[in-house]
């Protein structure tokens, strides 16, 4: 490990000299683009969004009245919001473990072959990730269609009546999860890179001690890659909770999907989007956004807390 540049070590008020003040001024100049962006597009909007969420702001009707916590009360009582949240949590609870397990499995396989072959397979696994999300939605309209690729395959292996993935309300959520699992490539790359960094002599020592494959995986691989693994889990959770484009292209943004499939597949951000940009209930939609914020923050904090029990950092 390289030593940190010694920038702040033990010097108090080092910025009191003119040369340092000059450096400080220039540091500020370099930070300026971010500071402006932060104020105008992040901090300002956050405050504004909080204010809007306490009004009945509706640019179409032109009304702006302070309504206090009414939007939040409405949100908690709104059965559609509840269903959208439940759908999203259900999706996240299946998609994240699925992505991590598939990603880890493929990364371990890649590690077994190594060399050029691993590089080639890695490229292939990542390919779905460069596909635009709308195109993924469109592709899976075809794959999951009653006569589509998946059902053709299912019939070939003897399933007489495969489900109508896109129209049967009971099957739209599994359909969305299948689609989401198709894009695990980024997780594979991160986990593969992490596994390659595990020192080989650790395995050597474990083998001498008589540890079997599973014990080596559990006691060496997982602790060594726990940092990147934790990163993959958290990033996937945050992304899953905000899923929008693929489902919008397949259901809410496609009138021919039909109301029952649209209802059954409704996730949180698509619902928020409907309230905000189709009904222009900006006050209510802002409250929904803060509801999402609380959920994302809460789950992330729980993850951070849990990570102390299993994530291992070399520096400690």
Q: How far is the CB of 248 from other proteins (least distance, A)?
A: 7
Closest separation between CB of residue 146 and other proteins, Å? 9
Kindly state the number of chain residues that form the binding site for other proteins, as judged by CB under 8 A: 120
**DSSP states along the chain:** -PPP--SSSS-TTGGGSHHHHHHHHHHHHHHHHHHHHHIIIIIHHHHHHHHHTTB--BTTTTB--B-TTHHHHHHHH-HHHHHHHHHHHHHHHHHHHHHHHHHHHHHHHHHHH-HHHHHHHHHHHHGGGGS-HHHHHHHHHHHTSTTSHHHHHHHHTT-SS---TTT-TTTHHHHHHHHHHTT-HHHHHHHHHHHHTS-HHHHHHHHHTT--HHHHIIIIIHHHHHHHHHHHHHHHHHHHHT--HHHIIIIIT-GGG-HHHHHHT--HHHHHHIIIIIS--HHHHHHHHHHHHHHHHHHHHHHHHHHHHH---TT-
**Among the listed residues 76, 93, 101, 142, the single contact to other proteins using CB under 8 A:** 142
Q: Quick one: which of 38, 66, 310, 312 contacts other proteins (CB under 8 A)? A: 38
Tell me if 131 contacts other proteins by CB under 8 A: yes
Task: State which of positions 42-61 bind other proteins (CB under 8 A).
Answer: 42, 44-46, 48-49, 52
Of the candidate residues 76, 93, 101, 149, the single one contacting other proteins (CB under 8 A): 149
Binding mask 201-220 for other proteins (x = CB under 8 A): --------------------
Judged by CB under 8 A, does residue 304 bind other proteins?
yes
Q: Which of 91, 165, 224, 248 binds other proteins (CB under 8 A)?
A: 248
The answer to the question of residue 138 lying near other proteins (CB under 8 A) is yes
28 binds other proteins (CB under 8 A): yes
**Closest CB 77 distance from other proteins, rounded Å:** 20
Minimum gap (Å) between residue 205 Cβ and other proteins = 15
Our finding on whether 302 is near other proteins (CB under 8 A) is no
Identify the residue among 135, 205, 302, 306 touching other proteins (CB under 8 A).
135
Interior/surface letters 244-281, b for 16+ CB within 10 angstroms, e for the rest: bbbbbbbbbbbeebeeebbbbbbbbbbbbbbbbeeeeb
Region from 61-69, 85-93, 214-222, 288-296 binding other proteins, contact rule CB under 8 A: 288-296
Cβ 49 vs Cβ 290: under 8 Å: yes
With CB under 8 A as the contact rule, the residue among 54, 84, 85, 106 that binds other proteins is 106
Question: Quick one: which of 70, 94, 100, 134 contacts other proteins (CB under 8 A)?
Answer: 134
**Is residue 167 within the footprint of other proteins (CB under 8 A)?**
no
Interface pick for other proteins out of 189, 233, 261, 264 (rule CB under 8 A):
189
Residue from the set 89, 223, 235, 263 that interacts with other proteins by CB under 8 A: 235
Nearer to other proteins, 171 or 192 (CB): 192
């Amino acid at each position: 490990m390289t030593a940190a540049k010694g920038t702040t070590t033990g010097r108090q008020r080092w910025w009191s000299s003119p040369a340092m003040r000059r450096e400080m001024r220039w540091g500020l100049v370099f930070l300026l683009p971010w500071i402006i962006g932060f104020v105008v597009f992040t901090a300002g909007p956050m405050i504004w969004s909080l204010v809007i969420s306490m009004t009945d702001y509706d640019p179409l009707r032109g009304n702006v009245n302070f309504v206090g916590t009414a939007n939040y009360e409405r949100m908690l009582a709104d059965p559609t919001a509840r269903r959208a949240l439940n759908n999203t949590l259900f999706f996240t609870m299946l998609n994240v473990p699925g992505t991590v397990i598939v990603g880890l499995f493929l990364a371990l396989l890649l590690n077994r072959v190594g060399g050029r072959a691993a590089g080639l397979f890695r490229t292939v696994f990542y390919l779905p990730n460069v596909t635009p999300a709308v195109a993924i939605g469109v592709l899976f309209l075809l794959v999951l269609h009653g006569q589509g690729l998946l059902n053709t395959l299912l019939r070939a292996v003897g399933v007489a009546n495969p489900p109508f993935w896109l129209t049967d309300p009971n099957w739209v959520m599994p359909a969305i999860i299948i689609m989401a699992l198709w894009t695990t490539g980024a997780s594979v790359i991160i986990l593969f890179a992490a596994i390659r960094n595990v020192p080989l002599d650790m395995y050597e020592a474990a083998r001498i001690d008589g540890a079997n494959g599973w014990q080596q995986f559990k006691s060496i691989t997982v602790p060594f890659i726990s940092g990147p693994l934790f990163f993959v889990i958290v990033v996937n959770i945050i992304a899953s909770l905000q899923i929008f484009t693929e489902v919008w292209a397949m259901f809410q943004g496609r009138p021919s999907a039909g109301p029952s499939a649209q209802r059954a597949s409704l996730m949180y951000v698509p619902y928020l989007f409907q309230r905000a940009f189709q009904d222009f209930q900006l006050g209510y939609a802002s409250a929904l956004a803060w509801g999402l914020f609380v959920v994302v923050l809460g789950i992330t904090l729980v993850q951070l807390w849990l990570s102390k029990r299993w994530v291992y950092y070399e520096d400690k």
